Structure 1
Amino acid sequence: MRIVFAVVMALFVNHSFAKSIADVRIDGLLLMQPSKAFNIIGFKQGQQYDSDNVYSAINALFASGYFSDIQVYEENDVLIFDVVERPAIGDLTIEGNDLIATEDLEKGLKFSGLVVGETYKPDTINQIEQELQRQYFSQGRYSADVDIDVTPLPRNRVAVAIKIEEGDTAKIVHVNIVGNNSFSDEELTKNFLSVETGFFNPFSSADEYSKPKLQGDLDTLKSFYLDRGYLDYTLESSQVSISPDKRDVYIVINLNEGQPYNIGQLSLSGALPIDEDRVWKHIDHNTGDVFSRTQITRIIENISTELGDEGYLFTNVNIIPTKHDDLTVDLAYQISPGPKVYVRRINFKGNSETRDEVLRREMTQFEGSLATHSKIEASKRAIQRLGFFGAVDLQTQRVPGTSDQVDLVVSVEEQASGSIQASVGYSETNGTVLGFGVSKRNFLGTGNKLSFSANRTNQTQNYVLSYDNPYFTVDGVSRGYSVFYKTSDHDEDDVEDYDLDEIGASVSFGYPISDTQRLAFGATIKETGIDLGSNPSNETKDYIEEYGDSYNDLIANVTWTDSDLVGGLLPVDGYSTKLAFDVATPVGDQSYYKVALNSQRYWGLNESYLYLFRLKGRLGYGAGYGDTDRLPFFENYFAGGSRTVRGFSSSSLGPKNSYSDSTDTSAIGGNILLAGTAEFIFPMPMVEDHKSVRTSIFLDAGNVFTDYCYSGNTTCEEGIDFSEVRFSLGFNWTWITPIAPLSFNFAKALNSKTGDTTDFFQFQLGTTF
């Protein structure tokens, strides 16, 4: 006999009894496994049940979210649950999303259960719709709209289509600060990330509203007041108003400044394991100074570092301020050094290509020794200087069960350290370029550098094979070899009319003299041959007539380098200086020397190192000695082009040669080089990978000069004339491609003179400037 559930329930209520069941059956299951459904309802054969049990089972089934309808009835002592399952998701599409990657959205949807094959749950759809809307609202896109369409499909399935209109980011029209009596709105908002929209920032995103950006500005505002002694500063409220069209945002910040405090008494407490004077030297504020939170934070860091260098790696430095009615604040520094800490083990993570020993030999912090802050930081810096890794992180992990041991975990992120290149291209300097090269700065993960290149242009052929081992000995002595062959035909360029062939080999040894400095000694054996063209200059013919056209030279060189650059091919911090002295020894056919100084320095203008300032300088001088009275013309320095003064044609600046006829003169170079660059580096809008793309505005200056002029050249002047220094202003875009660095320059020559040739656009492949 079939009894409707409502009637059964009525009987239970009226008679209030429990009944045993012979069996339980669940009808209507298509997607859910029966075992799972039975676990949800909890009924078993022979179990007694009443109305409360049935209600609980029904609620549990509905709560699972898999069913849209449930009927319960009894038939021949069998309790039957007749269910209607919600449809399964048969298709899922996402349209209109640009700001949030589709892969990221799919991961989030899968986590929420919205994935093909899962059960369609309306509540989940509503939650996802609201969350996506919230995500766009947090980015200031209040006009964004998220619409989720659900379309029935055959076999109890549905198609879910998420359609997104991201809209435009609302612009900040006005930022109003209320309650500021001591400082103007301009002073308080100077370092805000949220900037009022205006005519002069159409390409900037600073005027686009976002909630995280506003929160950062509120923190900046608090720091502003705390750094000026306003300890009672409070943020009363912040309101954001949106225009009816959801495009304009008005921000109102209400604050209470309070009064500035000066520092009163200073005290120091704690079980100090070092002399107090070593701590007091870092406390550089005095009684009567204005309180500054930034200064105190720096003092705490310096004290922690001071004790960390003695092995007290987990020193706790707390400051307790005591405010007084006379607007003074006493500062009590409390120091808890804890025990000395030793490094048990050093572990490396992320170096899938680079061998552990390459990292380990850079470590100045050793296993089994006292852990010191300065050695850990020096180790991190040394690994960064390798240039093999995009990111380096060192963390200390306490060893369980001990209070005086830590493990040091060095996590690195490998980046490309080599390339295989086969290219066909065009250079503004050399015309058609054909090249093949293999270069590996981290050969087989050993840290050694191996490279081979073969390049051919309209004027040159250049072949170089080199190998360098930076740790030829365990003490860090390096050894390098190279062989080269170069042939040049200058008949078609703007320099001279001659052919030059060079073949040679070199060997060098480098010795570390500090963490950043090295001294290298080397020797090069080189054979040079010159074949004059049909119309060489007087300067070239004069040298050939005096010294011949074939030379075998032994060149000794000494090089000192000091480099602390961080960031690989596109540094973001540090400096590098290189001083090189090359001398062609008297045992060869020529006697000359060259001294070159190259230096550069980067300054980060913000914590993210996206805004940088760079200075770079090059100085060069060469001269003959003994039987050679001048620097050979093919060893001259040249200026103009991508490497020196952009905006001027490559190798076009400096002294000009002379001819017996009326042939137009060209640059012959000089034995003196002066060049410098000032550069402001900033991130390109809409570019995410700032590690491989860089943009900058630069000011270049430089020229070459000579202290030896051919007697018949009336236009040549000896010595340095600073009025002849050329300047250019321009824009640079550099991209580190998988093949090689690619650099584009747009430069305007600022003081070109008669005889100069200029190029507004120049590009360079293979090196960075």
Structure 2
Amino acid sequence: MKRFLKTHLAGLMLLTTVSTQGMDSFIIEDIRVEGLQRVAPGTVFNYLPVKVGDSFDQRLAAESIKALFKTGFFKDVKLEQDGDTLLILVEERASISSVKLEGNKDIGTDDLKKALKGVGLSEGKVFDRAILDKVEQELRRQYYSRGKYGLKITSTVEELPRNRVEVVIKISEGKVAKIKQINIVGNSVFSDEELLDAFELSTGNLLSFYTKNDQYSKQKLGADLERLRSYYLDRGHINFQIESTQVAITPDKKEIYITVNVKEGEVYKVSDVKLTGKLIVPPQELTPLVQIGPADTFSRKLATETSKAISDRLGDEGYIFANVNMVPEVDEATKTVAITFFVDPGKQVYVRRINFRGNTKTRDEVLRREMRQMEAAWASSTKIERSKTRLERLGYFQETNVESPAVPGTTDQIDVNYNVTEKPSGNIMAGVGYSQVQGIILNASITQDNVFGTGKRINFTFNNSQINTIYRIGYFNPYTNLDGVSSGFDLSYRQTNAQQMNLANYNTDVATAGGNLGVPLGEFDSLRFNLDYNHTKLKTSSNTSEQVYNFIQDNGDTFDYVTLAAGWVHDTLNRAIFPTDGGAQRLSILSTVPAGSLQFYKASYKIQHYFPIAKDLTFMVQAEAAYGDGYNGTDGLPFFENYFAGGPQSVRGFMANTLGPRTTPNPTTGFGGNLPLGGSSKLVGTAELLFPVPFMHDNKSIRLGAFMDAGNVYCGAFKTPNPDDINCYAQSSGNFMRFSTGLSARWLSPFGNLSFSIAEPLNSQPGDRTQLFQFSFGSGF
């Protein structure tokens, strides 16, 4: 006869027991489970706190039911006794047959399903209503953070045969609630406009579609309130307070009003500044680092920067955990503040080991030779950071991070761990252009910047386009010795059809062999030297211009000459790819040796600098000036050594190489006139605002830009054309600077580097060749 031991438990009820008066405990001789469909009996036995042979009583009954409910597999459990057999009757929870999402646009279906799977709401899982409720709450949080307060979520659970359910989540996102007004109440010293300029949140502007600054977020408002507090504290208002903040939304949930109540307080001046504590370095070295002094208006920003500057200085002496606290003493009577910077250097630490992780291809020695921080030396925060910058400048890594954990069990040792993410260092480059005259133009090259992970570079170029037939091989070793002296060589043969390059009608065959040497002068400066032998053969046709014929008549059509070049480079860029800070200057001088067929020289200076103006915004400026001329019997710079401008690499919006002086027709045939020939001097410049792709702030392989280019090439020393001067050709379109503006994009794609530009010339002249869209691409390996 079955004796009832336990009532069933269902839903979210707590465990309850019934009276068992007159019931004796019994020894379990067998356990039987009924009602299972998907769950294996062994799973039930694993969770049960009893087994055959145990003495079963009411306490174990309660523990057994609690254990089975805790699994989440069952929505009902009963225990019964059949003689000496424990009978377990269960009703399984339904399994999820499918999860459907409808109406979601802001958040992708794949992303949502991945998140749902992470919390257990996915096909094949046991259905739990509590989990579905949590999912709805999380969806509301996600959409509210996007400013969609009109969100409506409807979840339906449809029962299916074989104890299954289908979950359908219908989402009505609604429109984004926009900030209609932000009010600051209680301010008198500063206007609302001044204060709101420091806010990230705004009532909206032309860039709001990108910045989302008109969409309310509790986190953004918190950050803005801290900016507001800093604004006042940096201007002497020590007792500034934000008394309250109200956020109101209209009944239709489309507009938000924010009100911030403030109490400004009075302005405090600095009465005295002291340095105390264990200074470590001489006080006279720390005093210039103090950015705030007596009689200045108190500024928390300047005080914080002072603390950081002193801490960084101590970090260069091995005290990288130095703590510099700013302690203010406020005098309410005189409205002044006495500032004391208390220096606690902590322990001096040295570097036990420098470790590299993530360099699956590049050898450790290539990274280690870039280190400015040495092992077993006192740690220097400046050297550790500079070493990171040098790794980034190699161009082998997509990302570089550094950590300096303390060595366990010690108080004076740290390890320095550099974590890098390799990127393809080989490149198969292809340049593509199009013009109505030439059609499609192709060229290609293969470069491997990190051969077998050694840091050495080889390149092979083959080009068989309408413009060039090129064969070139080159080798470069950036570390010929441990002092950083570099060396390399280049061998090349090039046949060029200048007319296909938008230039005058002539052909050149050029063979070159040369070597190069680089000598470092310091951390940021180096000298470069090149020695090259050149063999040049000129070819003409009936359409060749007067200038080319006259040059050949005076100098011949075959030339052998040796060039010597020297250059100085000052480079402080923070990385090789997509730099955001620092600059580079390059000065180079090239001259032929007097014994050759031609005697000429060339000199150029190029400067480039990047200014970080915000987290995701960088302003870049660059300029280049170049000049060349002949000497010792060579009249002017040979035309095939001229400078060129126009195209993707200089003044965008103008067809490549087409700016500058033009040719005059061949007096015999009347052909070959009004074609670009380049010039012996060049001036070009660019100003560009660089920023990431909207909605893709974390993407480190794409960068956009808004630019303005300026430049031109000239005959002689930037002088006005003189038709009687054979070295200053007719320049029908004028010799003044050309300007263009537009948008650019650069993508470090898996297939290589792609660059695009859309540019509009601002002052094109009759005869100029313009080109709205220009691009080039390559393929990485």
Measured against the shorter chain, the TM-score band is: over 0.9
- Determine if contact 1:427/1:763 at 8 Å carries over to the other structure: no
Query: Are the equivalent residues in 2 in contact too, given 1:13–1:51 (CA < 8 A)?
Result: no
- Is 1:171 matched up with 2:183? no
Match of 1:25 among 32, 38, 41: 32
Deviation at 1:183, TM superposition (A): 1.5
The alpha-carbon deviation at position 162 of structure 1 amounts to 4.3
Q: Measure, in 1, the Cα distance between the counterparts of 2:761 and 2:688.
A: 16
Partner SS, residue 397 of structure 1: coil
Provide the identity percentage.
38
TM-score by length of 2: 0.91
> Relative to structure 1, is the Cα distance of residues 594 and 95 closer, same or farther in structure 2, using a 3 angstrom cutoff?
farther
Q: 1:284 to 1:203 in 2, by over 3 A?
A: closer
SS of alignment partner, residue 759 of structure 1: coil
Q: d(CA) in 2 for partners of 1:276 and 1:424?
A: 61
Selected match of 1:328 from 313, 317, 336 = 336
Q: Does the CA contact (< 8 Å) of 2:100 and 2:168 recur in 1?
A: yes
Whether 1:386 and 2:394 are equivalent positions in the alignment is yes
**1:687 shift after superposition:** 3.7
Structure 2: which amino acid aligns with 1:665?
N
2:654 counterpart of 1:645? no
- Indicate the larger mover: 275-284 or 625-634: 275-284
AA aligned opposite 1:193:
E
User: Retained in 1: the 8 A contact 2:661–2:735?
Assistant: no
Cα deviation for residue 511 of structure 1 reads 0.9
Please tell me the residue identity of whatever aligns with 1:13.
Answer: S
Question: Which residue is 2:622 aligned to?
Answer: 616
C-alpha separation between the residues in 1 aligned to 2:559 and 2:729?
A: 29
Aligned residue number for residue 579 of structure 2: 571
Q: 296, 299, 302: which one pairs with 2:306?
A: 299
Which residue does the alignment assign to 1:462?
470
Cα shift at 1:406: 0.9
CA contact (8 A) 1:12 1:50 kept: no
Deviation (angstroms), 1:157: 2.9
Per mean C-alpha deviation after superposition, the further-off stretch among 448-457 and 236-245 is 236-245
Q: Which residue of 217, 232, 245 corresponds with 1:238?
A: 245
From 550, 554, 558, the counterpart of 1:546: 554
Q: Within 5 Å, give how 1:251-650 maps onto structure 2.
A: 251-326=258-333, 327-421=335-429, 426=434, 431-492=439-500, 494-606=502-614, 608=615, 610-650=616-656
Where 1:281 maps in the other structure, the secondary structure is: helix
Find the aligned partners of 2:590 and 2:438 in 1 and give their Cα distance. Answer: 27
Equivalent residue of 1:653, what SS? coil
One-letter identity of the residue aligned with 1:455: N
1:682–1:695: 8 Å Cα contact kept in structure 2?
Answer: yes
Deviation of 1:526 after TM superposition, in Å, equals: 1.5
Distance change >3 Å, CA 430–CA 95, structure 1 → 2: farther
Q: Could you report, residue by residue, the CA deviation over 1:332-358 in whole angstroms, capped at 9, with x for unpaired residues?
A: 222111222111100011212211111
Shift of 1:763: 2.9
| Contact 2:246–2:260 (Cα < 8 Å) also in 1 | yes
Separation in 2, partners of 1:55, 1:415:
60
What amino acid sits opposite 2:295 in the alignment? Answer: G
Give a deviation string over 1:607-636, Cα, whole Å, max 9, x none. x2x211111111111111112121101111
Whether contact under 8 Å (2:398, 2:423) holds in the other structure is yes
Number of paired residues? 764
Partners of 1:193 and 1:456 in 2: CA distance:
54
Task: Name the CA distance, whole Å, in 2 between partners of 1:340 and 1:634.
Answer: 62
Q: Is the 8 A contact 2:49 2:63 kept in 1?
A: no
Distance 1:722 1:321 in 2: 66
Contact 1:433 1:455 in 2 (8 A): no
Greater Cα offset, 726-735 or 122-131: 726-735
- What does 1:727-742 align with in structure 2 at a 5 Å threshold? 727-742=739-754
The one-character-per-residue Cα deviations of 1:641-691 (angstroms, maximum 9, x if unpaired) are 222222333222222221226554122221111111111223332344643
What SS does the corresponding residue of 2:267 show, helix, strand or coil? coil
1:182 equivalent to 2:194? Answer no
Q: 1:722 to 1:363 in 2, by over 3 A?
A: farther
CA drift of 1:486 comes to 1.4
Aligned residue identity for 1:3: R
CA distance in 2, matches of 1:95, 1:710: 74
After superposing the two structures, state which structure 1 stretch, 482-491 or 203-212, moved more: 203-212
Q: Using the TM superposition, name which of 28-37 and 274-283 deviates more.
A: 28-37
Alpha-carbon separation, structure 1, partners of 2:604 and 2:20: 106
- By how many angstroms is 1:5 displaced? 4.2
What's the counterpart of residue 11 of structure 2? none
> How far apart, in 2, do the equivalents of 1:146 and 1:690 lie?
32
Question: Scaled by the length of structure 1, what TM-score is found?
Answer: 0.92
Moved more, 723-732 or 415-424: 415-424
SS at match of 2:562: strand
Superposed CA deviations along residues 175-212 of structure 1, whole A, max 9, x for unmatched, are: 11222222111111103221112567566532223333
**C-alpha distance in 2, partners of 1:144/1:197?**
22
Task: Report the 3-state secondary structure (helix = DSSP H, G, I; strand = E; otherwise coil) of the residue aligned with 1:568.
Answer: coil
Residues 615-624 or 701-710, more deviating: 701-710
Aligned letter for 1:728? S
Measured at CA, do residues 59 and 384 of structure 1 come closer, stay the same or move farther in structure 2, by a change above 3 Å? Answer: same
Amino acid at match of 2:757: N
Instruction: State whether residues 28 and 53 of structure 2, in contact with CA within 8 Å, keep that contact through their aligned partners in structure 1.
Output: yes
SS of the residue corresponding to residue 404 of structure 2 reads strand
1:697 corresponds, among 696, 700, 706, to 706
Corresponding residue of 1:228 = 235
Aligned to 2:12: none
Give the corresponding residue for 1:81. 88
Residue pair 1:678, 1:699 contacting (<8 A) in 2 also: yes
Task: Measure, in 1, the Cα distance between the counterparts of 2:315 and 2:437.
Answer: 55
Shift, 1:740, TM fit: 3.7
Residue 481 (structure 1) shift:
1.5
Q: RMSD across aligned C-alpha pairs, in angstroms?
A: 3.0
User: Relative to structure 1, is the Cα distance of residues 331 and 136 closer, same or farther in structure 2, using a 3 angstrom cutoff?
Assistant: same
Instruction: Please tell me the residue identity of whatever aligns with 2:306.
Output: I
CA deviation map 1:93-152 (0-9, x unaligned): 555555545565455434322343332111111111211221121221223444444333
Change (3 A) 1:204 1:519: same
Deviation at 1:171, TM superposition (A): 1.7
Task: Tell me how far apart the structure 2 counterparts of residues 166 and 417 of structure 1 sit (CA, whole Å).
Answer: 45
Partner Cα distance (1:232, 1:11) in 2: 62
Deviation at 1:579, TM superposition (A): 1.5
Which stretch shows the higher mean deviation, 632-641 or 231-240?
231-240
Alignment check: 8 A CA contact 1:21 1:79 kept: no
Offset at residue 445 of structure 1 (A):
1.6
What SS does the aligned partner of 1:681 have?
A: strand
Distance 1:579 1:315 in 2: 42
The SS at the match of 2:19 is helix
Distance 1:514 1:684, change over 3 A: same
Return 5+ residue gaps in structure 2 as ranges: 9-14
Q: In structure 1, which of residues 2, 12, 15 is the aligned counterpart of residue 21 of structure 2?
A: 15
| Cα offsets for 1:511-561 (capped at 9, x unmatched) | 111112221111111111111111211111111001101111211111221
3-state secondary structure, aligned to 1:392: strand
**Structure 1: gaps spanning 5 or more residues:** none
Amino acid at match of 2:422: E
User: Greater relative contact order: 1 or 2 (C-alpha under 8 angstroms, separation 6 or more)?
Assistant: 2
- 2:139 is the alignment partner of 1:132: yes
Rounded to whole Å, the distance in 2 between the matches of 1:744 and 1:377 is 33
Query: Which deviations, in whole Å up to 9, do the C-alpha atoms of 1:580-623 show, x marking residues without a partner?
Result: 212121232111111121221000111x2x21111111111111
Equivalent residues of 1:460, 1:486 under 8 A apart? yes
Q: What is the aligned partner in structure 2 of residue 157 from structure 1?
A: 164
Alignment CA distance shift 1:33-1:234 (3 Å): farther
CA distance, structure 2, for counterparts of residue 624 and residue 766 of structure 1: 38
Deviates more, 1:78-87 or 1:158-167: 158-167
